[in-house]
């Protein structure tokens, strides 16, 4: 048993393995899969959530910047907040459309701010501590809200969340699983409004499955984003949050602090132009007309005279 | 590894046991979903696989079909079924049945085919009917391989049953999703460890069954 | 179909990503599994431990594995490398046992003959054992190829783009055509790679004339 021949075998296999790894390395050179996009230079890396509405906003930033001859790189649909946040915090993504309330809850879980301006100013501080900055918040909002079906609301005369105490049947509440531990979940309902609910997780962020569950009666109460066109389409009723269970949640761009003033100005203009109704309309085009985000964003920017 | 220590202390924390959302309760749910999915898939796949193995007919078609089913991303199947059937257990159960099907089928026909042809011919020569041939010769001789299929399917299902929590309040997957979404990595990792341990226990049990089923004179097949 | 036409470039883009994630994972799995299978075949005692560990790894659910790998290796969660490593772990776990079986399936008399003809250990491995192990090995490689291609889709849950994005996006927007495109695209890719493997297998084993397809024998 000499050593050399077996080593040849090992070396051969190692070569193939190296080749395979090299292939992988090529793979992650691509902007779409890059986790380490430390590109330097003037290119602005824009990210977006794996959420169609968020992608449209990111696309609007991108096209508005491109119209001013600023180079951008799209790193879109990169998952949910728990996945991409480290990349924003580390500065490998320069610009990202976020939402004031939910982002503040991640950075300051025990915040008591509820109103839009309070949330925004606390968020500004929190971002600064992370070496980031938040640009102007947009009038457009997309926030969690409690909804019930029209039929259910009429049966018990529901207008506010408080009215839920009038319901005599068992209430099952459906939302993403994080709602179970968050202040706006079953615990918050009990503490602020004295309402008891059972909880079932539906991990689609108030999407079609949640709506279906509401309509077929598997759940009676759900969290759906206010900008979701399905609220209007399915004639759902949003219950008024009289005791401030939910944080105000405006669209807000999070940026690394080396973003140029020119770029900031452009993004702020986009934010200012977007009304809450605009956002619902943009989402509706995405869901109903099934158009790609780039088309929807382009049409809107043209309408607003931003291109 | 700090994270692992945290996960272990999460598991051993007495307050996470007992009650409707407790670890013990979730383990039982997880096992029930797994058994139900494998059982339903077995009722469909095993007779079909044995039939194919016995007759040698339809093998190509069914093998191609099973390969195609294997290629279906479970996440896609789950979302499509979820949209069609709504929340609850039906959609994840169906998706898991589809997941278990190919391994069970492959085990069944490979098992029957692996039965020693000499023994089969001898049995036929002594006048056994086709039914007796299957039940007394081919299946017992192929039992180890057939059980291998059940073992592979169970392992896949028990790990993937975590996805049931995507659209229902069921199983250990709940710890994964809620841990992931609220960045409680100790909870998430605890869920993963529990699933892995569960899988390991099931796998060892089935491996023991498989060994016990080995025909005394049989050769080793996998 | 209109959805597909309007989004052709996006779908193609995701398909390319999907290939770039799955192919390296498959190649790494095959190489590592051959090494482990060889070890298990050569030293059965070590083999029991190695193969046992492999099947244990296989039982870890995929989603947490994607979170744990970056922690262990210090790479970013969203890096394609994270997913490739996770898939390679599964692929290897599934294939190592088959690889050991594949080496066991080689007729000992052939090996003895080759040794008698003066093959070195390396020559024995590359020219005799490995080629003769190909048929059994191939059946395992085909299985992990298909399962790897389908598993890549879960990367979409943590932000690693692939055809899986069509599943999550189609789900959110309730566009069934998009989900179906994602599912069918994934299956087609698996089928294409599978056919490629069968062809490669034929080329690698020219002495096996008119073999039945299905490979499991």
Note the pLDDT tens digit of each residue in A91-119.
889 999 999 999 998 899 889 999 999 99
pLDDT digits (tens, 9 = 90+) for C148-184: 999 999 888 878 889 999 998 898 888 989 999 999 9
Residue B1 included in any domain? no
Query: Would you place residue A82 in the very low, low, confident or very high pLDDT band (cuts 50, 70, 90)?
Result: confident
Q: Which of B77, B110, B159 sits opposite C59 (nearest CB)?
A: B159
- % of chain A residues with pLDDT over 70: 87
Q: How far apart are the first and last CA of chain B?
A: 36
Let me know: does C186 contact C21? Beta carbons within 8 Å.
Answer: no
Give the model confidence (pLDDT) of C10-36 as tens digits: 999 999 999 999 999 999 999 999 999
Residue among A174, A194, A205, A172 at smallest CA distance from A102: A205
B53 falls within a domain: yes
**Cβ neighbours for B29, distance < 8 A, ≥ 6 positions apart:** B170, B171, B172
Q: Is C180 exposed, middle or buried (0-12, 13-18, 19+ CB in 10 A)?
A: middle
Tell me the residues of chain B between 74 and 103 that have a Cβ less than 8 Å away from chain A: 82-83, 86-88
Regions in chain B scoring below 70 on pLDDT: 1, 215-222
- Laid out side by side, the sheet with A95-99 consists of A72-75, A44-47, A95-99, A251-256, A132-134
Q: Using a pLDDT cut of 90, give the percent of chain C over it.
A: 43
Q: What is the band of A37 on the pLDDT scale with cuts at 50, 70, 90?
A: very low
Residue C215 pLDDT:
41
Asked if C168's CB is within 8 angstroms of A35's CB, the reply is no
Check if the beta carbon of residue A122 is closer than 8 Å to that of residue A108: yes
A44-141+248-303 has which fold? D-Maltodextrin-Binding Protein; domain 2 (3.40.190)
CATH of the domain at B86: 1.10.3720.10
Contacts of B191 in chain A (CB under 8 A): none
Residues of chain B contacting A174 with CB distance shorter than 8 Å: 87
Distance in angstroms (rounded) separating the CA atoms of residues A249 and A142? 6
**Mutation target among C30, C41, C159 for the A interface, most CBs of A within 10 A:** C159
Q: Under 8 Å CB-to-CB from C144, ≥6 apart: which residues?
A: C26, C29, C30, C90, C91, C94, C95
The number of distinct structural domains making up chain B is 1
* Nearest residue in chain A measured CA to CA from B21: A199
- Which residue in A has a C-alpha nearest to residue C119's C-alpha? A5
With respect to residue B14, please indicate whether it lies within any of the assigned structural domains: no
Q: List the one residue out of A168, A155, A149, A158 whose CA is nearest residue A216.
A: A149
Q: What is the pLDDT of residue C172?
A: 85
Pick the more confident residue, A122 or A188: A122
Q: Closest Cα to residue B93, out of B106, B82, B105, B83?
A: B82
Instruction: Please list every residue in chain A whose beta carbon sits closer than 8 Å to the beta carbon of residue B95.
Output: none
Q: What is the pLDDT of residue A33?
A: 36
Yes or no: say if B148 and B222 are a contact pair by the CB < 8 Å rule. yes
CA–CA distance, B155 with B165 (Å, rounded to integer): 18
> Which candidate in C80, C127, C152 is best for mutational testing of the A interface (most A CBs within 10 A)?
C80
Name the residue among C31, C80, C165 with its Cβ closest to that of A17: C31
Name the residue ranges covered by the structural domains of chain A: 44-141+248-303, 146-238
Examine residue B10 and state whether it is found in any structural domain, yes or no: no
- Window 134-153 of C: residues touching A by CB (8 A cutoff) are none
On whether the CB atoms of residues A97 and A140 are closer than 8 A, the answer is no
Q: Residues with Cβ < 8 Å from C77, sequence gap 6 or more?
A: A35, A83, A86, C66, C67, C70, C158, C159
CB A72 within 8 A of CB A60: no
Instruction: Decide if A80 and C125 are in contact by the 8 Å CB cutoff.
Output: no
Torsional class of B201: left (φ above 0), alpha (ψ -120 to 50), beta (otherwise): alpha
DSSP state at residue B220? P
CB contact under 8 A, A33 and C79: yes
Q: Do A201 and B169 touch (CB under 8 A)?
A: yes
Q: What angle do CA A67, A69, A72 make, to 5 degrees?
A: 90
Count Cα atoms within 13 angstroms, Cβ side, for C74. Answer: 0
> Which residues partner with A172 through β-bridges?
A198
Phi, psi angle pair for C215, to nearest 5°: 65, -15
Size of chain B, expressed as the number of residues it contains: 222
Cβ–Cβ contact A154 with C under 8 A: no
Distance CA A12, CA A17 (A): 9
Asked if the structure places residue B7 within a domain, the reply is no
Nearest Cα of chain B lies from the Cα of C117 at a distance, in angstroms, of: 30
Cβ of A52 within 8 Å of Cβ of C173? The answer is yes
Q: Residue A28 and residue C161: Cβ atoms within 8 Å?
A: no
ipTM score: 0.77
Q: What is the pTM of this model?
A: 0.81
With an 8 Å Cβ cutoff, are A36 and C27 in contact? no
Would you state the pLDDT for residue A3?
A: 37
Q: Do the beta carbons of residue A294 and residue A55 sit within 8 Å?
A: no
Check whether C211 has a pLDDT greater than 70: no
Write the DSSP string, C29-62. HHHHHHHHHHHHHHSHHHHHHHHHHHHHHHTS-H
Which residue, B134, B115, B118, is CA-closest to B47? B134
pLDDT at site A178? 79
DSSP state letter for B11: H
User: What's residue A171's pLDDT?
Assistant: 94
Q: If DSSP codes are grouped into helix, strand and coil, which group holds residue A250? A: strand
Does residue B202 contact residue B38 with C-beta atoms inside 8 Å?
A: no
**Element at B189 (helix H, strand E):** helix B185-212
Which CATH number applies to A146-238: 3.40.50.1000, 3.40.50.620, 3.40.50.10860, 3.40.190.120?
Answer: 3.40.190.120
Predicted local distance difference test score (pLDDT) of residue B67: 78
Range in A143-157, A240-254, B170-184, C38-52 with the lowest mean pLDDT = B170-184
Q: Kindly list the strands in the beta sheet with A144-149, ordered across the sheet, starting from the edge strand earlier in the chain.
A: A198-201, A172-175, A221-225, A144-149, A236-238
pLDDT, mean over chain C:
87
Q: Greater confidence, B136 or A80?
A: B136
Yes or no, beta carbons of C76 and A291 under 8 Å apart: no
Pick from A51, A78, A286: CB nearest C78: A78
Q: Contact partners of C by the rule of 3+ C-beta pairs under 8 A?
A: A, B
Q: Do C80 and A27 touch (CB under 8 A)?
A: yes
Dihedral sign (CA B29, A207, B190, B201): positive
Which chain A residue has its CA at the smallest distance from B83's CA? A209
- Closest CB to C67: pick one of B63, B113, B188: B188
Minimum CA–CA partner of B200 in chain C: C56
Q: What is the pLDDT of residue A206?
A: 87
pLDDT of amino acid B216: 62
Query: The domain containing residue B184 runs over which residues?
Result: 19-221
Choose among C58, C61, C157: nearest Cβ to B192: C61
Average pLDDT in the A50-75 region? 94
Mapped onto helix, strand or coil, the DSSP state of residue B12 is: helix
Are A38 and A258 a contacting pair, CB within 8 Å? no
Poorest-confidence range of A81-90, A281-290, B137-146, B196-205? A81-90
Give a yes or no: residue B3 inside a domain: no
Phi, psi (deg, nearest 5) at residue B145: -70, -40
Q: What residues contact residue B114 under an 8 Å CB cut-off, 6+ apart?
A: B141, B142, B145, B221
Alpha carbons C166 and C164: distance in angstroms, whole number:
5
pLDDT reported for residue B1: 57
Reported as type and span, the H/E element at residue C86 is helix C80-104
Query: How would you classify residue B10: left for phi > 0, otherwise alpha for psi between -120 and 50, otherwise beta?
Result: alpha
DSSP tag of B182 = T
Mean pLDDT of chain A: 85
CB-CB under 8 Å, B60 with C171 = no
B139-160 vs B90-114: helix axis angle to the nearest 10? Answer: 150
3-state SS string over C155-173? Answer: HHHHCCCCCHHHHHHHHHH
Closest CA in chain A for residue C13? A32
B178 with A178: Cβ contact below 8 A:
yes
Q: Residue C72's closest CA among C57, C62, C84, C82?
A: C82
User: Residue A123: what pLDDT?
Assistant: 96
Orientation angle between helical segments A208-215 and B74-85, nearest 10 degrees: 30
Structure tokens at B116: 């020693």
Beta bridge partners of B219: none
Chains linked to B by 3 or more Cβ pairs within 8 Å: A, C
CB pairs under 8 A between B and C: 122
Mean local confidence (pLDDT), A61-67: 96
């Amino acid at each position: 048993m000499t050593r050399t021949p077996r080593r040849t075998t090992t070396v051969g296999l190692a070569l193939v393995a190296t080749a395979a790894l090299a292939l992988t390395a090529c793979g992650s050179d691509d902007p779409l899969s890059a986790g380490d996009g430390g590109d330097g230079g003037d290119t602005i890396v824009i990210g977006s959530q794996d959420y169609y509405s968020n992608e449209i906003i990111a696309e609007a930033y991108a096209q508005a910047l491109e119209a001013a001859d600023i180079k951008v790189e799209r790193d879109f649909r990169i998952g949910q907040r728990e996945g991409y946040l480290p990349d924003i915090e580390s500065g490998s993504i320069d610009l990202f459309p976020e939402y004031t309330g939910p982002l503040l809850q991640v950075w300051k879980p025990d915040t008591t701010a509820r109103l839009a301006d309070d949330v925004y100013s606390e968020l500004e501080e929190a971002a600064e501590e992370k070496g980031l900055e938040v640009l102007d918040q947009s009038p457009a909002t997309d926030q969690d809200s409690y909804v019930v079906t029209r039929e259910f609301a009429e049966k018990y005369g529901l207008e506010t969340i408080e009215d839920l105490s009038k319901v005599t049947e068992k209430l099952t509440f459906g939302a993403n699983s994080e709602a179970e531990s968050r202040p706006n979940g079953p615990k918050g309902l009990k503490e602020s409004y004295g309402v008891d609910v059972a909880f079932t997780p539906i991990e689609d962020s108030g999407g079609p499955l949640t709506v279906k569950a509401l309509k077929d009666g598997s759940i009676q109460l759900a969290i759906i984003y206010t900008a979701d066109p399905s609220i209007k389409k399915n004639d759902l009723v949003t219950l008024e949050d009289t005791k401030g269970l939910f944080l105000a949640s405006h669209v807000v761009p999070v940026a690394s602090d080396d973003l140029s003033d020119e770029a900031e100005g452009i993004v702020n203009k986009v934010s200012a132009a977007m009304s809450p109704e605009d956002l619902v309309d943009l989402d509706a085009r995405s869901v109903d007309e099934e158009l790609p985000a780039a088309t929807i964003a382009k049409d809107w920017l043209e309408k607003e005279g931003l291109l | 590894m700090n994270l692992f220590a945290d996960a272990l202390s999460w598991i051993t924390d007495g307050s996470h046991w007992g009650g409707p959302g407790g670890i013990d309760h979730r383990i039982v749910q997880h096992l029930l979903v797994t058994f139900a999915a494998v059982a339903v898939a077995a009722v469909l796949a095993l007779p079909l696989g044995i039939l194919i193995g016995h007759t040698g007919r339809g093998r190509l078609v069914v093998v191609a079909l099973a390969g195609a089913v294997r290629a279906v991303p479970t996440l896609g199947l789950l979302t499509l079924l979820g949209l069609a059937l709504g929340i609850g257990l039906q959609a994840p159960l169906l998706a898991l049945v589809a997941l278990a099907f190919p391994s069970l089928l492959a085990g069944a026909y490979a098992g029957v085919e692996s039965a020693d042809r000499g023994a089969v011919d001898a049995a036929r020569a002594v006048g056994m009917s086709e039914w007796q041939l299957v039940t007394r010769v081919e299946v017992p001789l192929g039992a180890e391989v057939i059980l291998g299929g059940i073992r592979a399917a169970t392992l896949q299902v028990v790990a993937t049953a975590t996805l049931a929590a995507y659209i229902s309040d069921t199983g250990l997957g709940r710890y994964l999703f809620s841990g992931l979404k609220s960045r409680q990595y100790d909870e998430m990792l605890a869920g993963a460890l529990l699933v892995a341990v569960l899988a390991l226990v099931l796998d060892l049990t089935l491996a023991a069954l498989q060994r016990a089923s080995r025909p005394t004179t049989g050769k080793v097949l996998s | 179909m209109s959805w597909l036409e309007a989004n052709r470039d996006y779908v193609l883009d995701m398909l390319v990503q999907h290939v770039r994630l799955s192919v390296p994972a498959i190649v790494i799995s095959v190489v590592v599994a051959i090494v482990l299978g060889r070890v298990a075949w050569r030293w059965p005692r070590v083999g029991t431990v190695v193969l046992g560990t492999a099947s244990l790894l296989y039982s870890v659910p995929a989603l947490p594995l994607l979170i744990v790998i970056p922690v262990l290796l210090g790479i970013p969660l969203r890096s394609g490398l994270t997913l490739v490593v996770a898939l390679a772990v599964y692929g290897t776990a599934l294939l190592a046992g088959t690889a050991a079986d594949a080496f066991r399936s080689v007729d000992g008399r052939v090996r003895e003959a080759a040794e008698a003809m003066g093959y070195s250990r390396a020559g024995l491995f590359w020219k005799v054992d490995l080629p003769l192990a190909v048929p059994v090995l191939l059946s395992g490689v085909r299985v992990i190829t298909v399962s790897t291609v389908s598993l890549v889709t879960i990367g979409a849950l943590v932000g690693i783009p692939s055809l899986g994005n069509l599943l999550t996006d189609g789900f959110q927007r309730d566009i069934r055509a998009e989900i179906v495109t994602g599912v069918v695209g994934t299956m087609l890719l698996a089928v294409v790679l599978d056919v490629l493997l069968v062809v490669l297998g034929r080329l690698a084993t020219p002495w096996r004339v008119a073999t039945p397809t299905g490979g499991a024998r």
